[in-house]
Amino acid sequence: MPQAATGRTGCGLRRRRALPGQKILILDDETPVLDFATEILRQEGYTVWGASSGGDALSIVETERLDLLLADQAIPDLDTSDIARRAQAISPNLSVIFLADKADTVSGKR
C-alpha cells in the first residue's frame, strides 16, 4: 500500500493524510463516541464503518476489505482481543488499534 502524504499541523506535528480507498472499522459500544469518530474520519477522507457489537464487526470484516480496526478495549461482556484475532483470521492484513478512554481506566472498567 502506498504511504500516506504528510503535512505539518499548526503545532509542528506531522499529520498523515488519508489515501483514497483506505477503509476503517470502528468498534465501540457508546453510540455518541462511535458517531463522532466515524464523522471525523469521514471528513478526513477515510471510508468508515461503525459497529457496536462483536458480531456486527465480524460481519463487516467478512464483507469488506478493511485496512484498520479501531476497537474500544473496554466494552462490557465483550473480549475485544478475541474479536481482533478473529477479524485478522478473516483478513490477515488488517491492522488493529485498541482504544481506551481515561474514564475506563480510572473506573477500573475492562
CA angle 86, 88, 95 (to 5 degrees): 135
The β-bridge relationship of strands 6-8 and 23-27 is: unpaired
Q: How many CB atoms lie within 10 A of CB 49?
A: 19
pLDDT digits (tens, 9 = 90+) for 23-63: 999 999 999 999 999 999 999 899 999 999 999 999 999 99
pTM for this entry: 0.75
Do 27 and 81 touch, CB atoms closer than 8 A?
no
- What phi and psi, each to the nearest 5 degrees, are found at residue 33? -65, -45
DSSP three-state, residue 64: coil
